[in-house]
Amino acid sequence: MLYAIFCYDAEAVTCSWSKERDAEVMASLAAVQRPLVEQRRLGPVARLMPTTTAVTIRKGKEAMVMDGPFAETKEQLLGFYVVDVATLDDAVEIAQDLAKASGSGGAYELRPIMTYRSNTTLAATA
């Protein structure tokens, strides 16, 4: 079985960390990941930029693009995509195509990725 693990924390706090503290936290997280990578049990790992960089697309007859993260609690997280694009406009376009194709409600939040490691092909999917 593949599991996704989502990280939540108070951004106002993590953004107040000094460079040194940030590096410290990342290093101790990396120590947990290393053996998992060696065992081919860790897929892509991404660290997102702060929510200040996010835009959200509300699905609907005409998809609405709004600044800021997805903030509703009525809907649940169902999945995610990672796309490689030159500009935010390109990402918005892809999300709008997805919105049309899905033909249902909800929203997409677009958030630039700060660091990304694809790691390895997982044993379960090889």
Partner 1 sequence: MTDLAWIDASLIAARPRAIGALVRYFRDLDTAEEAFQNASLKALEAWPKHGPPRDPAAWLIFVGRNVALDAARRAQKQTELPATLVADEDPDAVAAQLDHQRENADYRDDVLRLLFICCHPELPPSQQLALALRIISGLTVKQIARAFLVGEAAMEQRITRAKARIAGADVPYEAPTAAERATRIGVVAATIYLVFNEGYSTSSEQAARAELCDEAIRLSRLLLRMFQDEPELMGLSALLMLQHARTPARFDEAGEIILLEDQDRTRWDAHLIAEGLALLDKAMRHRRPGPYQIQAAIAALHARAIHQEDTDWAQIDLLYASLERLDPSPVVTLNRAVAVAKVRGAAEALAMIAPLERQLAGYFHFHGLRGALLLELGKKSEARTAFDRAIALARSPAEAAHIRLHLDRLQQKR
Rule CB under 8 A: say whether 52 interacts with partner 1.
yes
Closer Cβ to partner 1, 36 or 65, answer by number:
65
């630039």: which residue's tokens? 112
End-to-end Cα, the chain, rounded Å:
13
Binding residue for partner 1, selected from 1, 2, 4, 16, defined by CB under 8 A: 16
CB 64 within 8 A of CB 57: yes
Rule CB under 8 A: say whether 88 interacts with partner 1.
yes
Span of 8-16, 37-45, 75-83, 93-101 interacting with partner 1 by CB under 8 A: 8-16
Rule CB under 8 A: say whether 82 interacts with partner 1.
no
Whose CA is closest to 54, among 106, 116, 114, 109?
109
Pairing of strands 64-67, 55-58: antiparallel
Q: Which chain residues interact with partner 1 by CB under 8 A?
A: 10-13, 15-18, 21, 25, 49-53, 55, 65-68, 87-89, 92, 112, 114-115
